[in-house]
Amino acid sequence: MKEALKEKLKELTALIGVSGSEQPVIRYCLEHLKPFADEVTVLPCGDLIARFDGTMPGPKMMIAAHADEIGFHIRSIDKNGFIYFGVFGGVQLKTVLASRVLFNGKKGVVKGVVGLTPGHITPPEERGKVPPMDACYIDVGAASYEEVLEMGLEIGSTAVIESPLTELNRPDLVTGRCIDDRAGCAALLQLAEDIKAGKLTFEGSVYITITVQEETGLLGAIHASDYVKPDCFIAVDTAPCGGTPDVPERLLPTKMGGGPIITISDNTSPVSKIFPNHGLVAFAKRYAAQQGIPLQRVPAPGAGNNDAGAVNYVGSHCPAMGLVMPRRYSHSASEVMDLNDLVYEVRMLAGFIENNGKISFDFFAE
């Protein structure tokens, strides 16, 4: 399973799917889910919902990962062909300067580079500073505004940093951009294959869902859960973890290789914290112990927000929880994850699926 997941992750992270422009990722997942699902729907907002029917009637379980990633969009183009850009999602500008980028243009992928003032002419007092966003630009090798348009780019075209998935010195550790949350998408595609192969049997229906616009407001999960109105919802995502010199255990007591993380709370609501359903958490803890799967817990802000919070707060309001995977160097072009955590995630989700209809959502379950 690990090698199959790695290959899926490699293909998924090669796609450009900035928030609001997730079409390449949704098309890829649609192609891979359609042969297996009983019904596949793409909502007008872009959410991909694949329904899998069990052996007998029962509740509806929705398991969702998000397709989108952080990235850039063209804000303006000057007469000399230099592109000024804005960002979608939590981009840290300090990770962007001098990076190579890939635009998703109307005529195909266009390569570029984020400009950087030569060190030879940068005053010493400026060398350690990050310039303001409106001073940063992208060079695609064009000599004019018209040449940029000829390349198939326009105001609003989106781009990402070029960073293909690569193994580190330990083969189970991989690095690249948008592991958040293409790892979750890979897990769901694997589960779809396992259901079709008869490896998983269950009651009711399971809705494997690839949401959009998570990085810019968790909006896809709201639409998807409202459309299906599931009886429970599980968000499959990634989250920052500790274990590095700058993120000690006292700040974030999670680690790569330590298994999936249950988010104790998140900050989706602008006025309060959102908590997972106690019954879902109790089942996850019990199942992990039975199967020998390591499990971690952490509150926000360490874990960040995920689609489960949106479902609880403004979506269908069904019992929900986040089951996320640890990653290092979040929202950069060099995120790192342990593939063993991805395998653990698939095993945990398989347990939820096989027990659909048997999981209590009781407030007193824990």
Helices (H), the chain: 2-13, 23-33, 145-150, 179-196, 219-228, 278-291, 307-313, 339-354
Query: 18 and 41 in contact (C-beta within 8 Å)?
Result: no
- Residue 152 pLDDT > 60: yes
- In the chain, % of residues over pLDDT 90: 76
Output the CATH code of domain 2-69+177-354.
3.40.630.10
Classify domain 71-161 at the CATH topology level.
Answer: Elongation Factor Tu (Ef-tu); domain 3 (2.40.30)
Going by pLDDT thresholds of 50, 70 and 90, the confidence category of residue 304 is low
Q: What is the per-residue pLDDT for 174?
A: 98
Q: What is the domain partition of the chain in residue ranges? A: 2-69+177-354, 71-161
Query: 87 and 95 in contact (C-beta within 8 Å)?
Result: no
- Residue 217 pLDDT > 80: yes
Query: 125 and 79 in contact (C-beta within 8 Å)?
Result: no
pLDDT (tens digit per residue) in 12-22: 999 999 999 99
- Cα 92 from Cα 114, distance rounded (Å): 14
More confident residue, 248 or 342: 342
Same fold for the pair 2-69+177-354 and 71-161 = no
Token pair, residue 254, equals: 């999670």
Neighbours of 185 (CB within 10 A): 30
Nearest to 227 by CA among 94, 356, 46, 103: 46
> Span 307-313, mean pLDDT?
88
pLDDT (tens digit per residue) in 314-364: 888 899 999 999 999 989 999 999 999 999 999 999 999 999 999 999 999
Q: What is the per-residue pLDDT for 319?
A: 95
> Span 242-270, mean pLDDT?
85
Query: 263 and 239 in contact (C-beta within 8 Å)?
Result: yes
Q: What is the per-residue pLDDT for 124?
A: 73
Name 250's Cβ contacts closer than 8 Å, sequence gap at least 6.
Answer: none
Q: Which of 69, 203, 214, 345 is catalytic?
A: 214
> Span 241-262, mean pLDDT?
90
Q: What is the per-residue pLDDT for 95?
A: 83
Name 248's Cβ contacts closer than 8 Å, sequence gap at least 6.
Answer: 242
- In the chain, % of residues over pLDDT 70: 94
How many CA within 13 A on the CB side of residue 126?
A: 10
274-277 long-range contacts (CB < 8 A, ≥24 apart) are 274/308, 274/309, 274/312, 274/313, 275/312, 276/308, 276/320, 276/321, 276/322, 277/232, 277/319, 277/320, 277/321, 277/361
SS3 113: strand
Q: pTM here? A: 0.94
Q: What is the per-residue pLDDT for 274?
A: 79
> Span 86-98, mean pLDDT?
87
147 is catalytic: no
Q: What is the per-residue pLDDT for 92?
A: 83
> Span 34-39, mean pLDDT?
96
Give the range with max mean pLDDT: 29-38, 112-121, 293-302: 29-38
- Residue 130 pLDDT > 80: no
Taking CA atoms, 228 is separated from 48, 170, 352, in Å, by: 12, 41, 18
> Span 41-52, mean pLDDT?
98
Which has the minimum average pLDDT: 40-44, 124-128, 243-247? Answer: 124-128
Mean pLDDT score of the chain: 92
Going by pLDDT thresholds of 50, 70 and 90, the confidence category of residue 179 is very high
Neighbours of 342 (CB within 10 A): 27
For the chain, first and last CA: distance in Å? 32
- Residue 301 pLDDT > 60: no
